[in-house]
Chains A and B, each alone.
Chain A
Amino acid sequence: MDTATAVDEMGGDMSQTVATEGAFDHEKASQAFVGKVGEIAVDNPRMTARKVNVYYGEKHAIQDVNLDIGKNEVISMIGPSGCGKSTFLRCLNRMNDTIDICRVAGEIKLDGQDVYDKKLDVVPLRAQVGMVFQKPNPFPKSIYDNIAYGPKIHGLVSNKADLDEVVESSLRRAGLWSEVKDYLDQPGTGLSGGQQQRLCIARTIAVSPEVILMDEPCSALDPIATAKIEELIDELRENYTIAIVTHSMQQAARVSQRTAYFHLGKLIEVGNTDDIFTNPSHKLTEDYITGRFG
């Protein structure tokens, strides 16, 4: 029996497991939850995660998470603070390796290749699975060099003309070219917050990733800059797979095709975004997205 089937067959119903008197106890509900989480598998997976467990020392931060991330899809991960969504995201390109006390168990594959294979070099992995962070973090270099740095160190270009082309196409894809083409020698840190974040996305794109991980990419941006990033995410979906962690339910509803809801380290529900935000199956999901706890 494969894991997906096994998870489906675990059965159980959270609402019955925690039939409490009086107010619904969301913490107990999550701890007691063992059951169906929805369709974890997709037909065309780019990344697959099976039985993923993450520990920070003694703390069991992620528990038995099974999830596929499909090609050319945007999947959003939502849940209250401390639910493990960012931890899970960071497992996908081994960013958690940088945390000494963090231990990851289970299996994560990118195009069938085990991401946690001891022989695997994480540097090219992080080019294949790029990451955009909450706060824009351009290098203290020119706009041009911010983009050019990755392709140069990964040896993706052989001459200046190729590099120019990569810089231009990356900035174009990130929707930033027309705004910065005349200032490529200016420092990236001089751009506005929204522009800096698009610069970081362009920098990620420049090394030809397959997957882009975004950890609350708009939380430091104003609504217009946020709208531009969301529009960009939608355009990037044609060529990349995107996993985004967001605290904004409206953003998850707007940008993603699938949504995964995490609670206290467990994946509670995953499904089509349209279904999750109009008719979720689990009370925990329902209560979180309608603002009854969180």
Chain B
Amino acid sequence: MSMNEMMGGHIVNRFNDEMSQLHGLVLKLSELARSQMHDAVKTLDDEDCEAAQVVIERDKKLNDLDIEADDEIIRLIAKRQPMAKDLRDIIAVGKIVSDLERIGDQARWVARMTIHFYDGDKLPPNHHLLDDIPRMAEMVDEMIIKAMGAFENLDLEQALDVIQLNLELENEFKSALRRLSTYLMDDARHVGHVTEVVLGLRAIERAGGYAKNIAGYVVFLVKGTDVRHESLEQVAAEVRAEAW
């Protein structure tokens, strides 16, 4: 069942329209957050500081959409006093837009890394130090796509996939840290670059965490339970539990 099918059908058609518009805003935010992360990682690969600056400046668009969504949410709550799944929907949307905006902040961090590495006459990093960044960024992209798919289709199995992927992302992050430490052991002069890369990886890992949060909000929207701090097994049990 799609979001529109489940959330529509109000006696007040205007409310249906307003909720649809709000959902549209969330999807727009998610596309922008994805492209920000994609473009930020590309600037690193292309060693393109100008493009990195564009990514940094474009973050304002995400901030503006975040504020626009919050304004709309406040207006909807005041005007419609939503209950039950409508209330959960609006609360979940409020949290989703915040986390999408934060994904954008992490993309900005990656873009800054490009400028730190390639702006001016500084010695660029060994390319092997950056190997994990595109791989982890791809994982995060898949997580955002799935999380938004779960939101659009209220698909709890897809939400579970995202939580599973986040565990894999965290393992990937740990492996990347181990790999980076071997470079440091080989040559301590890598320390500056390694520190930057660790911060970049950390930003991508956090973006994945936000995507996982979004999956949790979808579970909250559909089931009414807060699973943010529960293990994958606990969430799976909650998702598959029959009501009553």
Contacts and interface: CB of A to CB of B under 8 A. Distances in A.
Contacts of B10: 290-292
Contact of B11 (A279, A285, A291): A291
B88 A279 contact: yes
Nearest to A24: B9
Contacts of B82: 290
Contact of A286 (B12, B15, B84): B84
Interface in A260-287: 277-281, 285-287
Contacts of A287: 9
B84 A277 contact: yes
A23 B6 CA distance: 11
Interface residues of B, number: 18
Nearest to B220: A279
B87 interface: yes
Contacts of A292: 9-11
- Contact size range, A: 10 to 19
B244 A290 contact: no
A278 B15 contact: no
A250 B77 CA distance: 12
Contact of B81 (A250, A278, A293): A250
Nearest to A292: B9
B98 to A, nearest CB: 20
B11 A286 contact: no
Interface string A242-267: 00000001100100000000000000
Contact of A36 (B15, B87, B88, B244): B244
Contacts of B85: 286, 290
A212 interface: no
B83 interface: yes
B243 interface: yes
Interface in B108-137: none
Given A291-B11, A291-B15, A292-B11, A279 B224 contact: yes
Contacts of B172: none
Given A36-B244, A290-B86, A291-B10, 20 more contacts: A249-B83, A253-B83, A277-B87, A278-B84, A278-B87, A278-B224, A279-B223, A279-B224, A279-B225, A281-B244, A286-B85, A287-B9, A290-B10, A290-B83, A290-B84, A291-B11, A291-B12, A292-B9, A293-B11, A294-B11
- Closest 3 pairs between A and B when the two form their complex, measured CB to CB: A279-B224, A289-B83, A292-B9
Interface of A: 23, 36, 249-250, 253, 277-281, 285-287, 289-294
22 contacts: A36-B244, A250-B81, A253-B83, A277-B84, A278-B84, A278-B87, A279-B84, A279-B88, A279-B224, A279-B225, A280-B84, A281-B243, A281-B244, A285-B84, A286-B84, A290-B82, A291-B10, A291-B12, A292-B10, A292-B11, A293-B11, A294-B11
